[in-house]
Amino acid sequence: MMQNKHILIGITGGIAAYKICSLIRDFKKSGAEVKVIVTPNALNFVTKLTLQNLSQNEVYEGEFTPQNWKPEHISLSDWADIMLIAPATANTIGKIAQGIADNLLTSVACAFSKKMIVAPAMNCNMWQNESVQKNLKTLQARGIEYLPPEEGFLACGYVGKGRLCSLEKIFNAVDEALNYSETLKGEKVVITAGGTIEEIDPVRYISNYSSGKMGLALAKSAHDMGAEVVLITTKDVECPFRIIKVKSALEMEEAVKDEFDTADYIIMAAAVADYKVKEYSQQKIKKGEDTITLELVKNPDILAELCQNKTSQIIVGFCAESENLIENAKAKILKKGCDFLVANDISRKDIGFNSDENEVTILDKNINITKLEKASKSVIARKILEWISTK
C-alpha cells in the first residue's frame, strides 16, 4: 500500500540513527520512494553513503544546492506525502515546537503542512524533562503524531524509558497515515468523550472510569480523514481541532445542542452519568451521621433527545455492557433511535475502559451486526468512521 508514496525521513543525532537504515529498506521494499535529511550530528552515527545507497536518493543536509531553483526545504516538503523524524532528539523536538529553523531538517519541518510523525529517542532523564514533555504537547496540539519511546536498556548505560519504539510500530504508523482516505472532507463531525462529572458539593462528585480515549481516537481519525472536528470532552487534551471542555451531563447537553444543527455526524462516545444529585450543596457536606442519603435525579438522555430532533445528521451511540452485550445493544439502538450503536463489552479487562485497545460490535438500525476484532483504539476508530461514512 506504499506504492509510489513519498516518504521524507529526518534523522537526528542519536545512537538509534543506525536503526533507521533497515526502516528505509522496509519502506523501499513496500514500494515507497524515500528521501533522507540528516542533521549534522546524525552523520556521527550513520554515513551519508549508507543512507544514499539504501534510499537510492541523494541525502540532504544543506538548505541550498546550485542544481535546484527552489530552496531545498521547500522542494522537499512539496515532494513528500509524509514526514517522519526518527530518531528525534530532545533538541530537534524543542526546535520544531518553537519554530526554530536553523538547519535543513528543522527548516523543512517548519515549512511542512502535511502529516508528520515523530519518534523520539533519548536518555530517560531527558525524556522526563518538563520542557521536552511540554514541547511534545505543543507538537501534538499541531496535529503532529508522536510515537512514545519504550522502556529498556539505553545506549548511555541507563535502563528506563527513552529507547526508540520498535521499527514495526514506526512502519505501521506511517503505513496507516499514508492510507488515510479523505472520506470525511467537508463534513462536520461532533464527538463527545470522557465520563461526565456530577458535583455533589464543592469538593465531591460522582463520575465513572471512562478515560475519553475512544472518543479522542475517533476525533483524531476524523480529523485525519479530512473532517471539521468538534470534540466535546470532560478531559484535558491538546489537539489540532476545536475542543469544548465540559464537566456535567447538562453542560455536555448544551454544548452538543449548540453544534447539532450544523453537524453531519454526531458520535456520542462519552459515558454520560445517568443520574445527578437532586440538590447540589453550596457548602461542603459535614461528616455527621453514620449514614447519609444522596437523592439522585435522572440526567437528560442526550442521545435519545438528539435522535428525536434529528434532520439529516447521522447519529452514533455507544453502549458499555457488562453482560448480554448483543441483546442489550439491540434493545438500546431501538430505544434510542440512533443510526448506529457501537457496543463495548466492559466485563473484559483487556479492552474498553482506560485501555489503549478495544474490540467492538457495530449495530445499524436494521440490526445488522458487525464485529471489529481487537485492535488499538486508533485502528478501531478509523474502522468505525469508515463504516458509518460508507453505509
Catalytically active residues, by annotation = 156
CB of residue 371 to ligand C5P, shortest distance in Å: 19
* Cα 47 from Cα 162, distance rounded (Å): 23
158 class by beta-carbon count within 10 Å (0-12 exposed, 13-18 middle, 19+ buried)? middle
Taking the least distance from each CB to ligand C5P, the nearer of 112 and 340 is 340
Distance CA 244, CA 288 (A): 38
| HSE value, Cβ hemisphere, 13 Å, CA-based, for 313 | 29
C-alpha–C-alpha distance, residues 160 and 163, integer Å: 8
**What are the Cα distances from residue 220, in Å, to 253, 283, 307, 380, 384?**
22, 40, 24, 12, 13
Least distance from ligand C5P to the Cβ atom of residue 270, Å: 5
For residue 237, the minimal CB distance to ligand C5P (Å) is 17
Contacts of 183 (CB under 8 A, 6+ apart): 225, 226, 385, 386, 389, 390
Closest CA to 194 of 243, 233, 249, 221: 233
Find the shortest distance in angstroms from Cβ 26 to ligand C5P: 40
Report the residue number, 20 or 191, with the smaller CB distance to ligand C5P. Answer: 191
Binding interface with ligand C5P (CB under 6 A)? 192, 249, 268, 270, 272, 274, 299, 301-303, 317-319, 332
Question: Coil, strand, or helix at residue 67?
Answer: coil
Q: Which is nearer to ligand C5P, 25 or 335 (by Cβ)?
A: 335
Taking the least distance from each CB to ligand C5P, the nearer of 11 and 342 is 342
Least Å from the CB of residue 27 to ligand C5P:
40
Non-local CB neighbours of 157 within 8 Å, separated by 6+ positions? none
222: buried, middle or exposed (CB in 10 Å: 19+, 13-18, 0-12)? Answer: buried
Closest CA to 265 of 371, 189, 168: 189
Q: Which is nearer to ligand C5P, 26 or 321 (CB)?
A: 321
Least Å from the CB of residue 271 to ligand C5P = 7
Q: How many CB atoms lie within 10 A of CB 294?
A: 13
Q: Which is nearer to ligand C5P, 82 or 229 (CB)?
A: 229
C-alpha 232/C-alpha 255 separation (Å) is: 7
